Structure formats: structure tokens, C-alpha cells
Structure 1
């Protein structure tokens, strides 16, 4: 199976052939996947070199001319390093585009903290009007990328990861998918967290919602997952980025119902002995065994 990044390159290359409004902007990273596309469309596959602020500025400039830029590099460079340009060149200028990240929170532990961005979703969430997709499988990544490329002048962030679920689920570019039903609580699994969540809650009487679009937050699906007649609700959010990123959104969705929310994800404390991805996940308490202990302790 190809990776999400490989699927991004092949999908974006196909879209360049069919939509003259699209352009791909790169900052050295990912250029190999676009070699053929750059030869076919030298004016619409642009590599600015290792200049991430210029990467965003170029995308924003293209958007001002009426084009639809697909802007790509590691999340730590795309969002963290170039945040001021994202805020101004897309938000303040009122333009739209698609930011496509790789690396995520801990995809390359050996690369160190410079190549990790556990706070990307939370940071973008301080800005207005961004749709944010977190696919959990290459097929989902392709569907969401195609949706984002065709989304008029909207501002869209697509967060790719090396971690994937075993099978793709239907995605529409909005709304949570109900995967299983229960009565003791609701667990929202974001993107590549789904398989670990399902393994963790096996045998527990809980509902599981699958989120591949996290902004806008799907208030309606969360409320619908609460059993009819319930006077209280317990919700667990399992996100592959900063723990608690969506806690406020869940609280707002359930504002008129007494409830508790547990936000699980990447902690603020930096893990400095990185190891492998699996070791890093375990160190963060996001492996199935740790998730089960934390969920059952919360539900009592």
C-alpha cells in the first residue's frame, strides 16, 4: 500500500492535468514525487527551496490571482515556522488554498523535535474559517484532497501521516462517522487513531465516532451519539496531536447537558528519547493497552 504522501503526489499530479486553476508549491521536500508533473506543468509546479515563509507567501500570491494553490511540506515548517504568513497571506488577505502537511506529531522520531508539530491543529484553530482534515488511510487522504482541491476558495488544511488504519472508511469532507454504538460513553477517534481506539474499547459498552474532518467540529453527530434520554454524558477524544485540542469544541457541543470530557493525545512534555514510532506512541500513552486503561479509569 502506498503512503499518504505518495498518494498526495499522484493525486495532485492527476489534478494538475485536469484543472488549470491548480498549482503545487513545494519547499524542496516532496519534489521527487512531482518530477513528472513539473516537466508537464513547469509554470504550475513551483519549488521555492528551503524557504518556508516564501512557500506560504507564494501560495497566497497565487491565490490572489485566482488560482487554487496546493502548498506542501512538513507540518513543523508549514504551520509552526510559517504561521505569520498563514495568518496574513491567507487569513488577512481573504484568500483560499490547500495546505498539505506531512510529518505530523511524531512520524519521524529520529528527526527530533524540529520535525514534529503536535500543536498544528490547535495553532490553526486560532484562525478563522479553516477546514481541517485528518485522514487515517491513503484512500481517505485522496478523497479529502480531491474534495479540498475543488472547494472553491475555502481555506483547507490536510494533515497526512505515516500512521494508517488497516482499512479506509467512507469520508465526505465533513461530519463524524458512527462506527459502533454503546451506552456508557462516546469515544471520538481522529484519523489514524481509529484502529488503536477500536482495539482499546473492545468489549466495552461505548460508542465510537470516527473523525477525519475535525474542523468544523461535528456537534450534531456527537450529540446524536448520546443515548436518548441520557441526563449526563461522558466523552473521550483521542487525537494524534496536542491533547485537549478539541475539548472546548466538545464542551460547546454539549453545553446544555451535564457532561465530562477527557482529551487524550500528545502531551506538552517533550519526549527526548525518541526511539521508533511504536515506542513513541507507547510513551505518549496512545497504544491500545494504555488507551484502554485511561478510558476505563475515566468511565469508572
Structure 2
């Protein structure tokens, strides 16, 4: 099976053939993958070199001319390093673009801290008007990319990962999918962590929602799922900074007594490079760890029935 990054570069190249509004802006990363597209569309495949701030500024300029820029590099170089340009050249100027990252939180673990970006979604949450897609399979990445490219002027972030689920699910941007129903609580599994979450709760009586789009957060979908359970216990399983979606879940359930356990990557920096698989395990996001953490939360008597609390960890 191809990776999400493989699928992105192939599909984006085809989209350049199909839609003259589109442009691809690069900062060296994946440049060789767009060599044929650059030959065919030299005015719409732009490599700015290792200048990530310029990468986003050029995208803002292209958007002002009526083009729809697709901007790509590793997550840390796409969201964190040029954050001021995202805030000003896209947000303040109210221009649209499609930011497509690769590397996720720890895919490039051997690259060290500069190549790790577990805080990207939380950082974008400080800005208004962003749609955030977190596909869990290359087929989903293609569908979400095509949806974002066809949009007129919205700001969209597509977060690609080496980790992926065994099978794809039909994506409905902005809506969570109900994969199974139960009475003991609700688990919201995001993108590539779905398989691990499903394995973790295989014998638990819980509803499982799948999120390939996390912003906007499907408040109505979560609320409907919670209202179908006996206990308003919600577990968020996200492949980036723990607690990123907790405020959105709390807002969705603001008038209902509820508990939230937010699972994701910790703020603590792991200083052994290792592999992304080792980082997933170290952050307690593999199936055995999720099973233990979710099981303990759902059977916990620390919060009496009817209490409102947050189990962000």
C-alpha cells in the first residue's frame, strides 16, 4: 500500500492538470516527487528553497491573485516555523490555502526535535477559520485533499502520517462517523489511531466515533452519541498533543454532566530518537496502553455520577 505522502504527491500532480486555479508551493521537501509536474506546469509548481516563512508568504500572494495554493513540507516546518506568516499572510489577509504536512508528530523521530510536531493542531487552534483534516488512510487523504482543493477560499490543514489504519472509511468532512454503539461511554478516535482504539475497546460496551476531520469539531455528533449512553464519559484519542480537542468536547456538552479523558502525545519531550512506533508506545497510544487507560477511566469511581470533570492527561 502506498503511504499518505505518496498518494498526496501523485494526486496533487494530477490536480494541477485538472484545475488551472491550483498551484503547488514547496520548500525543497518532496521536490523530486513533483519533478514531472514542474516540467508540465512551470508557472504553478514553485520551490522557494529552504525558506519556510517565504513558503507561506508566497502562498498568500498567490491566493490574492485568485489561485488556490497547495503548500507542502514537514509539519514542523509548515505550521510551527512560519506561524507568523500563517497568522498574517493567510489569516489577517483572509486568504485561502491548503497546507499539507507530512511527518505528523513523530514520523521523522530520527530527525530529532526539529522534525517533531505534536503541537501543530493546538497551535492552529489559536487562529480562527481553519479546517483540519487528519486522515487515517491514503484513500481518505486523497478524498480530503480533493475536497480541500475544490474549495474556493477556505484555509485547510491536511495532516498526513506514516501511521495508518488497515482500511479506509468514507469521509464526510466535518462529521464524525459512528462505527459502533455502546452504553458505557463514547470514544472519539482520530485519524491513524482508529485501529489501536478499536483494538483497545474490542470487548468494552462503548460507542466509537471516527474523526478524520477535527476542525470544525462535530459537536452535534458527539452530543448525540453521548445522549445515547448511560454514562456521559468521553475519551478522546488523538495523534497529537493531548487535550487539543478537550475544550471543544466540553463546549459541546456544556449543559450536561460529563467527564472527558483526553489521550494524545504528552508535552514532555522524549529525548531518545527511536522510531515513530516507539514514540506511539511511549506516549501510551498503542492498543495495550489505550486499553488500560480507557478501561481504568470508565470503571473509575473517582468522580461520582453526575460530576462534571476533565481527565485530560
One fold, TM greater than 0.5? yes
SS at match of 1:226: helix
Q: Does 1:270 align with 2:264?
A: no
Q: Does 1:249 align with 2:265?
A: no
Post-superposition offset of 1:80: 0.3
- Structure 1: give runs of 5+ residues left out of the alignment: none
1:170 to 1:90, Cα distance in 2 relative to 1, 3 A: same
| Residue 96 (structure 1) aligns with | 96
Q: Is the 8 A contact 2:182 2:229 kept in 1?
A: no
Post-superposition offset of 1:32: 1.2
Q: Distance in 2 between matches of 1:229 and 1:39?
A: 56
SS at match of 2:39: helix
Post-superposition offset of 1:174: 1.9
Post-superposition offset of 1:274: 2.4
Q: Distance in 2 between matches of 1:272 and 1:196?
A: 24
Q: Is the 8 A contact 2:183 2:229 kept in 1?
A: no
Q: Does 1:51 align with 2:51?
A: yes
| Residue 115 (structure 2) aligns with | 115
Q: Distance in 1 between matches of 2:121 and 2:278?
A: 23
TM-score norm. by structure 1 comes to: 0.98
1:83 to 1:148, Cα distance in 2 relative to 1, 3 A: same
Q: Deviations over 1:97-154 (max 9, x none)?
A: 1000011100011111110110100000110000000000000000000000001100
Q: Distance in 1 between matches of 2:228 and 2:12?
A: 44
Q: Distance in 1 between matches of 2:214 and 2:114?
A: 25
Q: Deviations over 1:167-192 (max 9, x none)?
A: 00000222001111110000000000
| Residue 128 (structure 1) aligns with | 128
Q: Distance in 1 between matches of 2:164 and 2:32?
A: 22
Q: Distance in 1 between matches of 2:94 and 2:57?
A: 13
| Residue 178 (structure 2) aligns with | 178
SS at match of 1:88: helix
SS at match of 2:23: strand
TM-score norm. by structure 2 comes to: 0.94
Post-superposition offset of 1:9: 0.6
Q: Distance in 2 between matches of 1:51 and 1:38?
A: 19
Q: Deviations over 1:7-37 (max 9, x none)?
A: 1111111110011000000000011110100
Q: Distance in 2 between matches of 1:129 and 1:276?
A: 34
Q: Distance in 2 between matches of 1:58 and 1:274?
A: 33
Q: Distance in 2 between matches of 1:138 and 1:173?
A: 15
Q: Please, what is the CA RMSD of the aligned residues?
A: 0.9
1:75 to 1:277, Cα distance in 2 relative to 1, 3 A: same
Q: Deviations over 1:14-71 (max 9, x none)?
A: 1100110000000000111101000000000000000000000000000010100000
SS at match of 1:58: helix
Post-superposition offset of 1:229: 7.6
| Residue 284 (structure 2) aligns with | 285
Q: Deviations over 1:185-233 (max 9, x none)?
A: 0000000000000000010001100000000000111011124485x50
Matches for 1:32-71 after TM superposition, within 5 Å = 32-71=32-71
Q: Deviations over 1:266-298 (max 9, x none)?
A: 000001112122211111100100000000111
| Residue 311 (structure 2) aligns with | none
Q: Distance in 2 between matches of 1:272 and 1:254?
A: 37
| Residue 166 (structure 1) aligns with | 166
| Residue 82 (structure 2) aligns with | 82
Q: Does 1:155 align with 2:155?
A: yes
Q: Distance in 2 between matches of 1:206 and 1:274?
A: 35
